[in-house]
Structure 1
């Protein structure tokens, strides 16, 4: 019997009890990859023999940590010492880093089996690579953590690493119908991750459910407080949830309208939750544009070497991004950072009467076609505010493609946000059943 349908938490327990072998789990993943990879195209490198050897060694040795024996995928923006890391660009084809990124090293230390590298868009921006959405191969999986979300959604691997600078975790998780967790800024060390933006880049996790994403993140951060626990361990009263349409609501598609309405109904039907409407401060109207200026300017800086030495190998889309970043004046950049600082100072007001917010993860379900990865407009403000966010699956569009919503918590309240997201996801599941 295949062990892959087990959740990562269930598998971790069985691996610790030695009632499940890491080798069997890895072989199940490899069988699924063999069956589906030619269609989904989620991987840039599968370390078949190395993963099996690592699994066998773990089965024979002492229990190593939270991730003992669990297969993981690593986004190809993140350095691995024993696998190629090309950052989604032909400039770095065959590139072999000298060392693991910190998050990969921590994962290995906690007992993970690195199964391989998953596709990223070009330098984690907007130029797609080959990955398809496993729900329907004609649709985008989103980006930039395209391969990680698709591999988890298709059952090829239970856990995957991703990154977010605007919406690169939330959007593909939403489009592929899986859970994505973006911690508070700096919650997981990003050394060894190809930088895009010094003040925005965040490493996060992708899984099939919230406890699994939390388990992975806890191991990478050293914060066991991030593990999902009973909601009563955090609050002794009903969970106060703020419905937050954001100032970008005009761009929401009908399936997102329906998902938010259904979520409101599920929350009202749950005796352990209280629903409130939240209107963001007026300054937040300018946040998405401020984030865009900051990201463009900092990307142009981070791509300086590639721009100056490999311009012809950049896609026309990335060339345009670089030129747009160079056009952002230092005055615009400083004004944007000042605006963000004012908005961060108002976060306490936003969460004054609610514990978490529920907001759209994307305008709607995945767009048809593979020439773009969708719009991060609903993620930009939360990324620049440095809040923890969790995408939870929230139903399907009429065409059968997944729709996601994101749970947003106060900065630093990652464990509570994950636990609240798990409770909200359970409520939505009950409504759908």
Structure 2
């Protein structure tokens, strides 16, 4: 039972504040109280100024014009520029650095009336799998995922209704799976990346976290994502869903295998047509292609950091110098030359075009979000093996929460659309999430609701 404003999703907050039934200061106070209570355990924030949050709330309360996100509390991943808060990238060189100008996505959120609460923890430059201080709100001994560690954890723990992340491999979807929240990795370049730290020009994508499917639909309105080319579905009945286990299926743990089977069963029970989608053989090359492209694009993205910051982890220096033998998740890289990089881009381009064709018989595709439950330990943020393929293909992906593994931890599944069909993917994900919740509510309260009373 919702009793405090911090427990409301974004749609509910905006509805209440725009109607004058709830003040933004009340929202801010509730959020700050929750953070004060839980931050010692979760540690999602890299920067938080309660007085500034309250002042922003008062300013919003004084507005005559109220936008789509009026008063909605938002966390911002600390690789996204904010004019009035530090942007530190979780690295020594930028400690205390205040850009003085907002990233494009922050401009958009302010225009919509969002209440920016603070900056959330990221791994260094959102580029490594080395865990930071943030812990999984459902079990502090486990990672919340990364690199958008703080954003996923803050939304899951009811500290904010919405948070911004980024994804270059699996940095939005994996934390959402591990913490049990909705997340959208939109079509590449459908939301401006101006003002975000760059790693990979062809893979980096702004990510969105929320606690409901309707909130992702609201954010799609805020960011003017492409309008659907057909009426959006209002039920699962008649949906055509491709079940894609991906070439990484051998790495799926029993918990993920069961979650995917359960989600497929929920879809079928709701009247959807679920059929296997086997990707062509060339898609098996994509994990290697993705790593090579990141290595090539990271070489230019981090050249300045390599030159200016000799104390950076070796991963960054080796990427720039081309001397690395393994990448950030331990995969061998070998010593590719420029011909190998050109070949990688050719395969990526070919698979993007081919995916439009192989996925065309389906409305959306169902696939794993992560290998399993969040691993024990916070030193490593987990594997992106089930995410990097979709990131490289530049397609929209939505994590659907609600299922749990044997340790009682969240297990997400992903709904994938074709490029620029983000709203269809969001709508289908919301329908699946509601159906999953209806099935599991008879057994136990939802994970986000449980988190509220810890």
TM over 0.5: yes
Deviations 1:135-167 (A, max 9, x none): 000000100000000011111110000000010
Residue number in structure 1 paired with 2:341: 333
Contact 1:205/1:217 (8 A) holds in 2: no
Is 1:422 the equivalent of 2:430?
A: yes
Cα deviation digits, residues 77-112 of structure 1 (max 9, x gap): 101110011111112111111211110111011101
Q: Kindly tell me: are residues 244 and 216 of structure 1, through their superposed partners in 2, closer, same or farther at Cα, counting changes over 3 Å?
A: same
Q: Is the 8 A contact 1:70 1:112 kept in 2?
A: yes
Shift of 1:124: 0.5
Give, in angstroms, the shift of residue 358 of structure 1: 0.6
- In structure 1, the partner of 2:412 is 404
How much does 1:316 deviate? 4.0
After superposition, give the CA deviation of every residue in 1:187-245 in whole Å (9 maximum; x if it has no partner).
111100000011110002001112112323431x234848xx96149x9x711111110
Indicate yes or no: 2:207 matched with 1:204: yes
CA distance in 1, matches of 2:232, 2:71: 26
1:317, distance to aligned residue in structure 2 (A): 4.6
Distance 1:111 1:398 in 2: 41
Tell me the distance in 1 between the aligned counterparts of 2:398 and 2:415: 5
Could you list the runs of 5+ residues in structure 2 that have no partner in the other structure? Answer: 328-332, 442-454
Could you say which residue in structure 1 is the equivalent of 2:4? 2
Distance 1:307 1:291 in 2: 22
Q: Report the alpha carbon displacement of residue 57 of structure 1 after superposing the two structures with TM.
A: 1.8
Please, which of 155, 162, 180 is the counterpart of residue 159 of structure 1? 162
Gapped runs of 5+ residues in structure 1? none
CA distance in 2, matches of 1:116, 1:342: 41
Check the 8 A contact 1:218/1:224 in 2, yes or no: no
Structure 2 partner of 1:128: 131
Provide the TM-score with structure 2 as the length reference.
0.90
CA contact (8 A) 2:81 2:196 kept: yes
Q: How does 1:229-268 map to 2 (within 5 A)?
A: 231-232=233-234, 238-268=238-268
Return the alpha-carbon distance in structure 1 between the equivalents of residues 77 and 285 of structure 2.
31
State the shift of 1:56 in Å. Answer: 1.2
1:43–1:118: 8 Å Cα contact kept in structure 2?
A: yes
Aligned counterpart, 1:350: 358
Q: TM-score, normalised by structure 1?
A: 0.95
How far is the alpha carbon of 1:432 from its aligned partner? 2.2
Do 1:188 and 1:217's aligned partners in 2 also have CA atoms closer than 8 Å? no
1:315 alignment counterpart: 313
**SS of the residue 1:364 aligns to:** coil
**Is 2:18–2:66's contact at 8 Å kept on the other side of the alignment?**
no
- Structure 2 residue aligned with 1:111: 113
2:146 to 143, 148, 172: 143
Contact 2:186 2:206 (8 Å CA) reproduced: yes
Say if 1:159 and 1:213, in contact at 8 Å, map to a contact too: no
SS at match of 1:73: strand
What does residue 281 of structure 2 align with? Answer: 282
C-alpha displacement of 1:397? 1.2
Q: Shift of the alpha carbon at 1:349?
A: 2.3
**Structure 1 residue 184, shift from structure 2 partner:** 0.3
Q: Against the structure 1 CA distance between its residues 337 and 288, is the aligned structure 2 distance closer, same or farther, given a 3 Å change threshold?
A: same
Partner Cα distance (1:100, 1:19) in 2: 30
**CA shift for structure 1 position 15:** 1.1
Deviation string for 1:224-275 (max 9, x for gaps)? 848xx96149x9x71111111011100000100110111121111112x111
Aligned to 2:179: 176
Deviations 1:322-351 (A, max 9, x none): 543894422111111100111111123222
SS at match of 2:403: strand
1:391 aligned residue = 399
Alpha-carbon distance in structure 2 between the residues aligned to 1:394 and 1:58: 33
1:44 alignment counterpart: 46
1:218 aligns with 2:221: yes
- Are the aligned partners of 1:23 and 1:59 in contact in 2 as well (CA < 8 Å)? yes
SS in structure 2 of the partner of residue 4 of structure 1: helix
Measure how far apart 1:129 and its partner are. 1.3
User: What root-mean-square deviation, in Å, do the aligned CA atoms of Structure 1 and Structure 2 show?
Assistant: 1.8
> Post-superposition shift, 1:321?
5.0
